[in-house]
Amino acid sequence: MLKNIKRKIFPDRQEETAKLEAQKLRGLVRSIMTARPDEIGCEECYEALDRFVEMKLAGKDAAEAMPLVQDHLERCYGCKEEFEALLVALYALA
């Protein structure tokens, strides 16, 4: 009942949230399906992220230099968002 009322008041927001959830879920499923034994976790990814972004900005092949970070970004929606935000921020500053 409450859900229906909320949906009437915030139709767009509901949809956005649903989309986001679906995306997260897809990322999760993909990460389970394609898990590698040598993959890194979010924490390691986060620690390496600024170096990764710096390489990208310098025009170097970050994906080849740091394949595990690249790999993690492909499978983890949260880290990918963070990476993209960082990239946009640094481009704006440059």
Q: Which is nearer to Zn ion, 42 or 88 (CB)?
A: 42
The answer to the question of residue 85 lying near Zn ion (CB under 5 A) is no
The footprint of Zn ion on residues 6-65 (CB under 5 A) is 42, 45
Decide if 71 contacts 39 (C-beta within 8 A). yes
CA distance 40 to 66: 11
Q: Which is nearer to Zn ion, 12 or 38 (CB)?
A: 38
Burial of 26 (0-12, 13-18, 19+ CB in 10 A): exposed
Smallest gap from Cβ 81 to Zn ion, in A, equals 10
Instruction: Please give the structure tokens belonging to residue 10.
Output: 């915030």
Which of 40, 49, 69, 76: binder of Zn ion (CB under 5 A)?
A: 76
Q: Which is nearer to Zn ion, 14 or 68 (CB)?
A: 68
Decide if 45 contacts 93 (C-beta within 8 A). no
Residues that bind Zn ion (CB under 5 A): 42, 45, 76, 79
